[in-house]
Chain A
């Protein structure tokens, strides 16, 4: 029975029954087909491999707009080069916006927990960002993080690499506190390992290098802690885990929290000077174009 014929049934209850019967039939067919296929594949595992190899689903990532900067080598050197040439442990200052509420301090507490060698200083209204950056670079800090809270919600993160910049502004969403993660572990003071995923373009590499230079370059492996920054479709997911090798094949993961999502909004040269990259709403129009 085709859809036109179903539409011609005037009694609603009968029409619904016919539709549900049709659906049921269709499902039955589908299940039996799968069952048959599974049986065949169990007998001949090569078929399964072939099917999986042939049916690659198309995703936004696989249909990504061509970007010549993906995979291109970084030319010359940037502001982070100094850190990689003679690694000095990063020293991070954390502060908040002026007139911050409780939530901002809580987030600062969370950040202190996962950022090694970080200090928190309460924000004073008298100093602006550029002045704070100057004070921090005088005291040999390598990064200044300013948490932005609005309407009792943490919504932004300014990270300035010192002394020469660049300055980043990320928006923060989907913050999940450790307490709300089921089965979470308790983090230790060890310096974590760092996993950076999918920072491919030239802009992405700059962002990746920022995170690389914020964590000391000598993870304490006995801590078995990993911080992951996973970039997917320009959203950067922050996760923290502890791993355990259960046997030679199996690895167990225990989440330590917190979880949050960052999105790059602005990248400026120097300490908040000229804009190098800025997010615009019309950048979202093409769903297959990614910038990181």
Chain B
């Protein structure tokens, strides 16, 4: 499989080619075929490290960096040449919270932590010099900004004490231009006060759109370890509010292409897969002196991706080919797991902290099979040699 993994320590990225079974922590296991540093231009430094990257028309990789600059690289080029790089004066001091690319309109949209969104056109391999900036309603800093996959121009966002809003930012047309005033389609309401009649704090960290059938359906993760499912037909409060862990959730991804399972990671070392369909109705039980027994439903935990001894927070989670999930984070390892069995398929030491992972292709199987064959032959040879040695044989039995 061929993956591109961003490197925080150097501000660049690395292209990893490895076969299933690769493990750099074990000397007798296969080692990665190649690790090459890419995306070094224009100036790789931790201050301009890559935060998010996406594929564009399966040929370009668009990366947005910590200093809110955008770089585009050509993936078909062997050296992954820089196509275009732009720094925007207006965005100085802002940190991007997400990057969304619309290939049909040749435009990309960034959410910025200061509660703004920026739209940049990308025509004929060059990024526009000027970017269009819009203040998002609410006027508070945001931490999550997500594009609706089926309706271009519709976005959802939220942050600390900034509850979920769905807005329409531009009309679908030939030339994309931001609307003069952002149209708010939906504004969420906080959940009910808790059993002590205290307000439940809001701190959204990630948003994902589930599906669109006459209404928007989304899922949000919070810094207080909750997963909330919103349905715009269901009212302004979340349709479901689940407490899944006690630590802040920092990433939220769907497991595979169906929307009924999610993979979440927290700010320690957990990578867990939860079902959104099978709900344990009485999984959360606690007792309060005033309110009596409190019983809450919890989405079923389908398992944790623990193999390989992860020690740090995971920032990059990527499911590909519906069979694998790649994770990378602060402990500087890239790990690839089997989505279903949760067994570790590959583990590669990257030498740098990881923020995001891009999947390029997975078809290296022919080569890998050959290699395995060779190895088997070698092993058979060694076995034969060893069987001729009586002392060893005794030990083996």
Contact = CB atoms under 8 A, between A and B. Distances in A.
Answer whether A and B are interacting partners.
Answer: yes
B29 to A, nearest CB: 11
A68 interface: yes
Contact of A278 (B44, B311, B332): B311
Contact of A76 (B10, B250, B313): B10
A177 interface: no
- B8, B26, B268, B330: residue with the most chain A Cβ atoms closer than 10 Å: B330
Nearest to A77: B46
B25 A68 contact: yes
A273 interface: yes
B267 A275 contact: yes
B162 interface: no
A278 B268 contact: yes
B382 to A, nearest CB: 20
A66 B331 CA distance: 17
Interface residues of A, number: 19
Contact of A275 (B26, B27, B330): B330
A76 B312 contact: no
Interface in A130-184: none
Interface in A48-70: 66-69
A272 B136 CA distance: 30
A77 B268 CA distance: 23
B384 to A, nearest CB: 27
Contacts of B46: 76-78
A113 interface: no
Interface in B285-337: 311-313, 315, 330-332
A276 to B, nearest CB: 4
B313 A274 contact: yes
A277 B315 CA distance: 14
Given A66-B25, A66-B27, A68-B24, A274 B9 contact: no
B369 to A, nearest CB: 26
Interface in A190-230: 202
A75 interface: yes
A75 B351 contact: yes
A68 B349 contact: yes
B313 A276 contact: yes
A72 interface: yes
B93 to A, nearest CB: 16
Nearest to A202: B332
A233 interface: no
Nearest to A73: B351
Contacts of A69: 332, 349, 351
A15 interface: no
A276 B352 contact: no
B269 interface: yes
Contacts of A66: 25-27
A282 B46 CA distance: 33
A275 B268 contact: yes
A278 B11 contact: no
Contacts of A277: 311-312, 330-331
Nearest to A67: B25
A239 B154 CA distance: 62
Interface in A248-278: 269, 273-278
A59 to B, nearest CB: 20
B37 to A, nearest CB: 9
B11 A76 contact: yes
B330 A72 contact: no
B387 interface: no
B269 A275 contact: yes
Nearest to A291: B311
A275 B9 contact: no
Given A274-B250, A276-B312, A76 B352 contact: yes
A69 B352 CA distance: 11
Interface string B153-194: 000000000000000000000000000000000000000000
Nearest to B14: A75
B45 interface: yes
A286 B332 CA distance: 21
A69 B25 CA distance: 9
B7 interface: yes
B148 to A, nearest CB: 28
Contact of B7 (A75, A273, A274): A75
B152 to A, nearest CB: 32
A164 to B, nearest CB: 9
12 contacts: A66-B25, A69-B351, A75-B9, A76-B12, A76-B352, A77-B45, A269-B353, A274-B267, A275-B268, A275-B269, A277-B311, A277-B330
Which 8 residue pairs across A and B have the least CB separation, nearest first? A76-B10, A76-B9, A274-B313, A276-B330, A75-B351, A274-B267, A276-B312, A277-B311
Interface of B: 7-12, 24-27, 44-46, 250, 267-269, 311-313, 315, 330-332, 349, 351-353
Given A68-B25, A76-B44, A276-B312, 18 more contacts: A67-B25, A68-B349, A69-B332, A74-B9, A76-B8, A76-B9, A76-B46, A76-B352, A77-B9, A202-B332, A274-B250, A274-B312, A276-B311, A276-B313, A276-B330, A276-B331, A277-B330, A291-B311
Interface of A: 66-69, 72, 74-78, 202, 269, 273-278, 291
